[in-house]
C-alpha cells in the first residue's frame, strides 16, 4: 500500500508486469496504472463524484490514471482499488465508510458499496483503452466521455452528460443529462439502449443498420433522418418502427427532451 503525491491512496494494485516495468507510478496529481487484458475481457471504472474520460490507446496497453480534488474534504481519504475477476478488471474510487454503515467495497458489476457521506472529493478517471476490450463505466455526479473507440461500451451516470462514439455497440444512461452517441453496430443478443430522464438523445448509426426501434418521450419529440418504417400508430409520446430489415432492439427513452436519430 502506498500513498501517492496527491493524497490518493492506491490499494490492491496487483499486476504481472513485464520485467523492468512498474505497475503504478507516483505523480503530483494522482496515480497511473498500465497493463493488459486478454481480448474480449472488460475494463470497468466505478466512480462516485467526478467524470470518466476514455480515449483510444495507441497500442495494446491499458492506461488508467486519476486526479483528485476536494474543497472541504481531504483527497487522501479516497482510495483507488483494483479488483480482478473472471470478467476482467474493475477500478473503484472508494470513499470513507460512514459510521454505522457496512464497509464500502469495490466489486465488479452491480456488486460493492459506494457511499460518500458528505465527502466532496472529486476523482477524475482518465482511461486509454486498446481495441478488442469491452468497457463499462459508472459514476454518479459527473459526465462520461468515451470517444473514438473501437470497443463495446456500457456507461451510465446520474448527474451528467454522456458523449460517446465507438465502432462497436453501446448502451448509455443518465438521469439529469443528455446523451450524444455514435455507434458502429447493434448487438444481436441484447440490442442497443439509450435512456435519460431530463435531457435529449442524439444517436448516429450506420446507414445499413438493421434494428427494431422503440422510442418513448413525454415532453419532446422524435426527429429521424433515417428511413424508419413505422409499426402501428405514431403517438405524441411514442413510436415503434423498423430500420432496414429489422433485427436487434434499439431502445430510446427520455422524459424531458427530444430524440434525434441520424
Confidence of residue 26 (pLDDT cuts 50, 70, 90): very low
214 exposure class (CB count in 10 Å sphere: 0-12, 13-18, 19+)? middle
Q: How many CB atoms lie within 10 A of CB 206?
A: 15
Helix (H, G, I), strand (E, B) or coil at 76: helix
- Pick from 11-20, 86-95, 160-169: least confident: 11-20
C-alpha dihedral, 168 to 207 to 146 to 237, nearest 10°: -110
* Burial of residue 23 (number of CB atoms within 10 Å: 0-12, 13-18, 19+): middle
SS3 75: helix
Whether 1 has a pLDDT exceeding 80, the answer reads no
Does residue 238 have a pLDDT over 60?
yes
Residue 24 has pLDDT above 90, yes or no: no
pLDDT of 15 strictly over 80: no
Q: Which long-range contacts (CB under 8 A, 24 or more apart) does 159-168 make?
A: 160/51, 161/199, 165/204
Quickly list H helices, 92-233.
none
Amino acid at each position: 500500500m502506498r500513498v501517492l503525491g496527491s493524497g490518493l491512496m492506491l490499494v490492491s494494485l496487483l499486476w504481472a508486469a513485464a520485467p523492468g516495468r512498474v505497475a503504478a507510478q507516483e505523480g503530483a496529481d494522482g496515480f497511473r496504472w498500465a497493463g493488459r487484458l486478454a481480448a474480449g475481457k472488460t475494463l470497468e471504472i466505478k466512480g462516485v463524484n467526478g467524470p470518466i474520460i476514455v480515449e483510444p490507446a495507441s497500442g495494446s496497453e491499458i492506461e488508467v490514471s486519476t486526479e483528485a480534488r476536494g474543497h472541504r474534504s481531504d483527497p487522501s481519504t479516497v482510495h483507488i482499488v483494483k479488483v480482478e475477476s473472471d470478467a476482467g478488471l474493475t477500478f473503484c474510487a472508494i470513499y470513507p465508510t460512514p459510521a454505522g454503515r457496512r464497509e464500502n467495497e469495490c466489486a465488479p458489476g452491480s456488486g460493492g458499496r459506494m457511499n460518500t457521506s458528505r465527502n466532496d472529493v472529486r476523482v477524475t478517471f482518465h482511461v486509454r483503452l486498446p481495441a478488442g476490450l469491452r468497457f463499462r463505466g459508472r459514476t454518479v455526479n459527473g459526465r462520461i466521455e468515451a470517444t473514438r473507440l473501437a470497443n463495446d461500451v456500457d456507461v451510465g451516470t446520474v448527474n451528467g452528460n454522456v458523449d460517446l462514439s465507438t465502432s462497436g455497440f453501446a448502451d448509455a444512461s443518465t438521469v439529469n443529462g443528455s446523451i450524444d452517441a455514435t455507434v458502429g453496430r447493434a448487438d444481436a443478443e441484447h440490442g442497443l439502449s439509450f435512456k435519460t430522464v431530463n435531457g435529449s438523445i442524439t444517436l448516429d448509426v450506420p446507414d445499413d443498420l438493421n434494428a427494431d426501434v422503440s422510442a418513448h418521450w413525454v415532453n419532446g419529440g422524435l426527429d429521424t433522418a433515417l428511413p424508419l418504417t413505422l409499426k402501428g400508430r405514431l403517438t405524441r409520446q411514442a413510436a415503434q418502427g423498423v430500420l432496414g430489415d429489422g433485427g436487434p432492439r434499439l431502445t430510446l427513452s427520455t422524459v424531458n427532451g427530444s430524440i434525434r436519430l441520424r
